[in-house]
Amino acid sequence: MDSVPSQNPGIAIVGNMNVGKSSLFSWLSNKDTVSMNFPGTTVSVAAGQIKSLNATLYDTPGIYSIFSANEDEKVSRDILLPQKAFKQIASILLVADAKNMKRSLAIALQYAEYNIPMLVDINMIDEAEARGIKINFEKLSGILGVDICSSIAPEGIGVRKLLTKLKAPRIAKKIVTYPDWINNFIDIIKKLCRDTDISPRVIGLLLLAGDKSIEGYLAQKFGPELVEELKDLAADYRKEDTETFRALIVNLYNKKAEQIVKEIQEVEPPRRNPYLMTFGDWCTRLHTGIPIAIAVLVLVYLFVGSFGATFLVDKINGVI
């Protein structure tokens, strides 16, 4: 891999849709943000500066999978390839939704394949807590091999620690196991495509998925002949069409993510008073609810009629 430029590197905020990426972006970057059109698309990407790190931060659209062909999602993946108007991405800030760790980890495992230093921020911890979701951050850090932060983005909670941890993000472990034929194809890529800006593993996976952006990148770097050869080779290895491959590979990430969630997450239903819960149930049932309503009315009558109208009025008259 090419060495990471030390002067004003790029940091990409990535993650699923609606997880709080843009909210965090506004806390992390300075006020002078600009909106930049991503080459070959109608998608705009917000760019801002993180002064303390001397880095440019990019806010990307939400992504379901790096193998999606959707224009918005393509941007969140292709920003990791060298782009003229953008700084080379030296690290990734992956924003996860604490309420939906399976979906968030599935995408984290995919970005891990890029071999670009990554920091995972688990956002929306307020909403997760309200649902009784407890996440073991330390265990997750051990499994993924990266630091884990947490935040409540709209309130800026967790942002300071995030900035500190962004100084030295780590390269994630590669923990998804692929079938042998995929590993064999990746080995060929390792031999044929040297000194690439992203890892040969992800190049191999994207070629098998029929991704046009990676074909364009390789054509520019190694010439169109090699790309045609690699495309034919990918089709031979894959046997099925690219859509079937994408479904297979996304399923692998989802399964691994599900397995991790079982190890790192506990869900405790919010504790409620059992007596109050039983009383609430009685109130909502017809045969118990009506007597309760009558009893409440009688109590109100006794309170207002006997205590208020007789006792209190007599007392007040006595005082006057």
Ligand X SMILES: Nc1nc2c(ncn2[C@@H]2O[C@H](COP(=O)(O)OP(=O)(O)OP(=O)(O)O)[C@@H](O)[C@H]2O)c(=O)[nH]1
Instruction: Enumerate binding residues for ligand X (CB under 6 A).
Output: 17-23, 61-62, 123-124, 126-127, 152-154
Identify what 256 binds: ligand X, Mg ion, none; CB under 5 to 8 Å per kind. none
Element (H, E) at 265: strand 265-267
Helices (H), 5-117: 21-28, 71-78, 101-112
Name the residue nearer to ligand X (CB basis): 29 or 196: 29
Pick 56 or 150: Cβ nearer ligand X: 150
**CA gap 170, 120 in Å, rounded:** 10
Please say which residue, 150 or 196, places its beta carbon nearer to ligand X: 150
Q: How far is the CB of 96 from ligand X (least distance, A)?
A: 10
23 binds, among ligand X, Mg ion, none (CB under 5 to 8 A by kind): ligand X
Cα–chain-centroid distance for residue 149?
12
Count residues binding Mg ion (CB under 5 A): 2
Nearer to ligand X, 18 or 259 (CB): 18
Distance CA 190, CA 186 (A): 6
Least distance between ligand X and beta carbon 29 (Å): 13
CB of 307 to Mg ion, least distance (A): 59
18 binds, among ligand X, Mg ion, none (CB under 5 to 8 A by kind): ligand X
Tokens representing 206?
Answer: 């994207």
In the complex, residue closest to ligand X by CB: 62
Residue 153 touches which member of ligand X, Mg ion, none, C-beta under 5-8 Å by kind:
ligand X
CB of 167 to Mg ion, least distance (A): 24
Give the span between the Cα atoms of 24 and 50, in whole angstroms. 12
Q: What is the 3-state secondary structure (H, E, C) of 210-246?
A: CCHHHHHHHHHHHCHHHHHHHHHHHHHHHCCCHHHHH
| Near Mg ion in 220-249, by CB under 5 A | none
Q: How far is the CB of 159 from ligand X (least distance, A)?
A: 11
Q: How many residues does the chain have?
A: 320
Buried b (16+ CB within 10 A) or exposed e, 102-124: bbbbbbbbbbbbbbbbbbbbbbb
Asked whether the beta carbons of 71 and 43 are under 8 A apart, the reply is yes
Q: Which does 205 bind (CB under 5 to 8 A by kind): Mg ion, ligand X, none?
A: none
Which range touches Mg ion (CB under 5 A), out of 19-27, 139-147, 166-174, 277-285? 19-27
Decide if residue 22 touches Mg ion (CB under 5 A): yes
49-88 mask for Mg ion (x: CB under 5 A)? ----------------------------------------
Report which residue type is found at 177.
T
Nearer CB in complex with Mg ion: 21/99 = 21
Nearest approach, Cβ of residue 99 and ligand X (Å): 9
Is the separation of the CB atoms in 64 and 16 below 8 Å?
Answer: yes
Pure H helices in 17-136: 21-28, 71-78, 101-112, 125-130
Give residues in contact with Mg ion (CB under 5 A). Answer: 21-22
